[in-house]
Amino acid sequence: MELTRFRVSPEHAGQLLAARPKMIADFEADRAGFLSGRLVRLAGDEWLDIVEWRSPEDFAASRAKGANLPGIKAFFDLIDELVSMEEGTVS
């Protein structure tokens, strides 16, 4: 499980939500082991992206690819600040 907390300026929140489906489509097409993603709006300008991966190796391979496709890049470009990134397992 990948837990990424980030900040997006309020004026870009709508763009972030509009970019999300294309990002998910690119992940489904290009990221082996991608199972699901949920985006949670937190207080203030913060968001939490919860992404489920088949394995830690799949997550690592995805991180190595970065923003390699247009839908992923468009989503990532709207992030103003990375607050935290954690990896865990579901029990």
pLDDT exceeds 90 at position 14: yes
Query: What pLDDT shows up at residue 54?
Result: 96
| Inter-residue contact 22 to 30 (CB < 8 Å) | no
Question: Would the pLDDT of 47 be above 90?
Answer: yes
- Work out the number of other CB atoms within 10 angstroms of the CB of residue 23: 23
- 3 state DSSP class of 42: coil
Q: For residue range 48-87, what is the model confidence (pLDDT) as tens digits?
A: 999 999 999 999 999 999 999 999 999 999 999 999 999 9
pLDDT at 91 > cutoff 90: no
Asked whether residue 42 carries a pLDDT value surpassing 90, the answer given is: yes
Please report, for the chain, the start and end positions of each structural domain, with discontinuous segments joined by +. 2-87
pLDDT at 90: 85
pTM for the whole thing? 0.92
Domain 2-87 - what CATH class? alpha beta
Nearest to 42 by CA among 76, 84, 88, 89: 84
